[in-house]
Structure 1
Amino acid sequence: MTRALLAATLSAAYGIYGPAFELLEHRPRERGSEEYLDSEKYQLRHWQLDRPDSLAPFIARLNRIRREHPALQTNRSLRFLDIDNDQMLAYAKALPEQGDVLVIVANLDPHNPQQGWLHLPLAEFGLAAERPFRMHDLLTGASYLWQGEHNYVRLDPHAEVAHVFAVRRHVRTERDFDYFM
């Protein structure tokens, strides 16, 4: 899953051969070979895409996110971000003039939870250090309220391998309503 996420979000253009990748086909034809044993190169296959271990739903979600966010469709704005854990990778793709700022954080360790403090270049994203902002995870639907340049991230590969955050600048508070005194 992490490799699919990195391919889909790091580059403006990516492609995969669907069924074999979605179903995690990985047995080599022979030792040291890059060709797979049961590939369609040598036979016609009927793929069971509804298998519970299929990556198809995850890849479909990644493709929807790519379609909906122009920042992922360009390589111009890719910027790697500082995070204090070498087992995590963090980067941003942003088109602030279009209101599309994405922060991606991935756990590179497929077996263990990893955590770290992420440093965000708030000014580049049009954010003020003293104002809270919302980080909406496009993969899970969860939202987090953050403030300041340093924020904590924890990823358990058995639950979620990464966050694809859409940065929401304006967070409403009780002071935004007429009845606040």
Structure 2
Amino acid sequence: MSARLRRVLVVPVALLGFAVAGCGNSIDGAAVAQPGSPDVGSVSSGTSPSGASADCAALTKALGRLVSDRPHLTEAVLPGSTDPTCSWSKGPTNVMSTLTASVRPQVTDPAVIVEMRNGTNVVADPRSAAFGGVVLDVVAMALLTPQHSIIVNALDPSVSDATKLDVAFAIAEYLEN
């Protein structure tokens, strides 16, 4: 993986001070995105080709049960970005219960994604093929598709890598529908 690509994927997460995620080799699961709601307003410029917004309220609705035990939503925009980072926690002062997702519209050549599948830090997850993407374990779980970079992490040690990937794939599914 090139140094530039690594910075693109790691720097936003590192800036948020996330704990290092556990390593994984192969994870199976199923995305469970809820249908997008056209009546939820977007606070982000990030939309998918289908028009689905990547704002936190819409993502909360799309993630459904994956974040239902974390009702406290915080939305932040990092310096130099217009795309929100969404954090769900069990309460405003319960930082260690935080699950975070960052979605950035990012066009990546499919040939680059195919080459990345042969690199290090790749998590073999059969769901990535459906999105033409690749999953990388780089401080957080990162799903890179031809249209988006989706990074999911959790400060909560009870949140497994499988759950992080379920969140990433549910977001990807929501953005495509």
- The two structures share one fold, judged by TM-score above 0.5: no
Structure having the larger proportion of residues in helix:
2
Q: TM-score, normalised by structure 2?
A: 0.31
Q: TM-score, normalising length from structure 1?
A: 0.30
Larger Rg belongs to: 1
If asked which structure has higher relative contact order (CA below 8 Å, sep 6+), I would say 2
